[in-house]
Amino acid sequence: MDTKVKRSTMTEFWKEHSRQATVEEMMLDSHAQELTQHELPEILSLLPSLPGQRLLELGAGIGRYTSHLLTQASHVTAVDFMESFVEKNRQDNSHHGNASFLQADVTKLDFPKNSFDIIFSNWLLMYLSDEELRSLTERMLGWLRPGGYLFFRESCHHQSGDRVRGGGEAGVWLWVGRGSYKTVQTYIKMKNNQNQVCWLLEKVGRDTSCQEGFRTFQQFLDNQQYTRNGILRYEKMFGTGYVSTGGPSTTKTFGVKVLGLDLSANKVDIAIERAMEENLPSVHFEVADATKREFPEGSFDVVYSRDTILHIDDKLALFKRFHSWLKPGGQVLVTDYCCGERPWTPQFQEYVKQRGYVLYTPTQYGKFLQQAGFSNVRGEDRTAQFMQVIQTELERAAAMKDEFIKEFSEEDYLAIVNGWSDKLKRSNTGDQRWGLFHATRN
């Protein structure tokens, strides 16, 4: 449909559904009051700190978020397409004295550069065409000051009504998947209705430490190291969840609530698919940088990471974050690629450089945990176990070679088999080690 025709049709639709300026009209849901009661605190809890911040609210409607934002932010500019909604918002919230109310089409909106600390929108971007969204995204980036945040929540795949709620209180886990690294801060949080997705992005400078040929480390992960096809071929050979973030299996085994973090959008996409297939509403996922993600003190019972931290330079700083995220008595369990004592072979040096890894010996790892404040630190060199697992998996790969090649290709098969064979060689030389680490927060 032509963009102008679509815009005209949408305008007429909302004129018809905004006459009374009620929350039911605005949300197109007869249960809007109940939905608002449940989701307001949930959405607001995902926002960065508001005191002293200048905030732009796009698609503010009648102000069901505006009234709460105004009590904390230093100033809120509330924008909506429909005049009746803007007027209702003004009537209900102008008494706060720190708000501006603007009736405008966001596709024509403009502000000076660095005008806002936070931009907030809820169920707005789904009304824009791809071209309109690209243009608005570029302009919003200019409106934000450096270090500012863009938050938006959208309905994906299905309509937004009738949220499904559930999940017990058998403990809270944080799963840090492979691929966390310093990059633009991006959160994708699945709500209890798994079609509701929230993003929180921080405006930062380009990451100059990314791999050659890629603008960000996240692009390197999703376009080279963890392509969707690459993830699926590993899962075909080694089982579902082998590469994708493993929250579903943790929940099924222990009955806990899990929040899974990973920097690879491909891995999180597949993890979300697995959670939906298994109908696990207590599992949530975020595309996020673990070195920048903020959680309140004592948020989790367990922090678990499998072969992830090899990507992260300042491991001590990360372990200090883990320590603060854990409740008293909480535990951290980490497995990760490590290294032997230097000097390394030239082949191993090239491998580490090509992958962008930052490796330490198992002993050094344990010291980082102690320095971060953990007690009862246990660090083990499990390289022998690592090598045995690789050998078992290579035997399994050989047994299913024909089936695998039929579904993927011989090139894909050799990429996996040669990669694991190289790991065995590096481990045999003493260069590559594999460590397991467990510690407790007092």
265 is a domain residue: yes
User: In the listed set 253, 271, 294, which residue is the last one of a domain according to the structure?
Assistant: 294
- Shared domain for 184 and 253, answered yes or no, is yes
Number of domains in the chain: 3
Within 8 A by CB and 6+ apart from 277, the residues are none
Are the C-beta atoms of 377 and 369 separated by less than 8 Å?
Answer: yes
AA identity, residue 101: F
For residue 301, give the 3-state DSSP assignment: strand
For residue 303, give the 3-state DSSP assignment: strand
Distance separating the N- and C-terminal Cα atoms of the chain: 61
AA identity, residue 177: G
Strand partners, 155: 196
Preceding amide of 343 cis, omega within 30: yes
- Shared domain for 416 and 322, answered yes or no, is yes
- Shared domain for 141 and 215, answered yes or no, is no
User: In the listed set 163, 179, 214, which residue is the last one of a domain according to the structure?
Assistant: 163
- Shared domain for 131 and 156, answered yes or no, is yes
- Shared domain for 263 and 373, answered yes or no, is no
83 is a domain residue: yes
What's the CA gap between 251 and 102, in Å, rounded?
46
pLDDT 10s digit of each residue in the chain, 442 long? Answer: 556 656 666 666 666 666 666 666 656 556 666 666 668 888 888 899 999 999 999 999 889 899 999 999 999 999 998 888 999 999 999 999 999 999 999 999 999 999 999 999 988 888 888 899 989 999 999 999 998 999 998 876 533 333 322 222 345 555 554 332 223 334 444 344 556 678 888 887 655 555 666 667 777 777 877 788 888 888 888 776 555 455 556 656 667 889 999 988 888 888 888 887 888 878 888 888 898 888 889 999 999 999 999 999 999 999 999 999 999 999 999 999 999 999 999 999 999 998 889 999 999 999 999 999 999 999 999 999 999 999 999 999 999 999 999 999 999 999 999 999 999 999 999 999 999 999 999 9
Reported pTM:
0.71
266 is a domain residue: yes
Estimate to the nearest angstrom the gap between the alpha carbon of 198 and the chain centroid.
Answer: 9
299 is a domain residue: no
Pairing state of beta strands 375-381 and 432-440? Answer: antiparallel
Pairing state of beta strands 326-339 and 54-58? Answer: unpaired
Show the domain range for 127: 3-163
For residue 293, give the 3-state DSSP assignment: coil
317 is a domain residue: yes
Are the C-beta atoms of 88 and 120 separated by less than 8 Å?
Answer: no
- Shared domain for 158 and 40, answered yes or no, is yes
- Shared domain for 44 and 146, answered yes or no, is yes
What's the CA gap between 241 and 256, in Å, rounded?
17
- Shared domain for 244 and 310, answered yes or no, is no
Pairing state of beta strands 99-103 and 375-381? Answer: unpaired
Estimate to the nearest angstrom the gap between the alpha carbon of 75 and the chain centroid.
Answer: 28
Are the C-beta atoms of 334 and 304 separated by less than 8 Å?
Answer: yes
- Shared domain for 310 and 405, answered yes or no, is yes
199 is a domain residue: no
* Token pair for 372: 């971060």
